[in-house]
Amino acid sequence: MPMITTVQQHILQQQREQMKTTGREPTGTFSWLLSGITLAAKMVEAKIRSAGLSDIYGAFGAENVQGEQQQKLDVYANQALLHCLGLRDSVAALVSEEDEQPVTFNRDPETGKYIIIFDPLDGSSNIDVNVNVGTIFSVLRRLPLEQGTLEQSILQPGYEQVAAGYVVYGPSTVLVYTTGSGVHGFTLDHTIGAFVLSNERMRMPEQGSYYSVNEANADGWPAAYRSYIDMLRAGGLGKTYSSRYIGSLVADFHRTLLKGGVFLYPPTLQQPKGKLRLLYEANPLAFIAEQAGGVATYGAERVLDIRPEVIHQRTPFCIGSRREMEALVQAVKL
**DSSP sequence for 248-286:** -HHHHHHHHHHH--EEEE---SS-TT-SEEIIIIIHHHH
Q: Which helix (H) or strand (E) holds 80?
A: helix 72-86
DSSP state of 302: B
CA nearest 186: which of 163, 166, 164, 204? 166
**Are 122 and 169 spatial neighbours (Cβ–Cβ below 8 Å)?**
no
Residue numbers of the chain with a pLDDT score lower than 70: 1-2, 19-28, 51-70
At residue 332, the pLDDT reads 94
Kindly report the CA angle at 139 between 207 and 102, in degrees rounded to 5?
Answer: 125
Q: How far is CA 296 from the centre of its chain?
A: 12
CA distance 228 to 232: 6
At residue 56, the pLDDT reads 52
Kindly report the CA angle at 274 between 173 and 269, in degrees rounded to 5?
Answer: 135
C-alpha distances in Å from residue 158, one per residue of 46, 57, 259, 305? 31, 34, 25, 6
Domains and CATH numbers, the chain: 7-199 (3.30.540.10), 210-333 (3.40.190.80)
At residue 61, the pLDDT reads 47
Q: Does residue 275 sit in helix, strand or coil? A: coil
**Are 296 and 306 spatial neighbours (Cβ–Cβ below 8 Å)?**
no
**Are 270 and 218 spatial neighbours (Cβ–Cβ below 8 Å)?**
no
At residue 203, the pLDDT reads 98
- Residue 118's identity, in one-letter code, is F
The two beta strands, 210-212 and 91-96, are unpaired
**Are 156 and 138 spatial neighbours (Cβ–Cβ below 8 Å)?**
no
The two beta strands, 114-122 and 91-96, are parallel
At residue 53, the pLDDT reads 46
CA distance 241 to 246: 16
CA nearest 166: which of 247, 248, 46? 248
Burial environment of residue 322 by CB neighbours within 10 A (0 to 12, 13 to 18, 19 or more) = middle
CA nearest 320: which of 265, 278, 274, 246? 265
C-alpha distances in Å from residue 101, one per residue of 86, 117, 119, 331? 15, 12, 14, 38
At residue 323, the pLDDT reads 97
CA distance 261 to 322: 9
CA nearest 220: which of 163, 267, 175? 267
Q: Where are the beta strands (DSSP E) in 190-229?
A: 194-199, 210-212
DSSP state of 142: P
CA distance 88 to 143: 18
CA nearest 34: which of 53, 73, 5, 7? 7
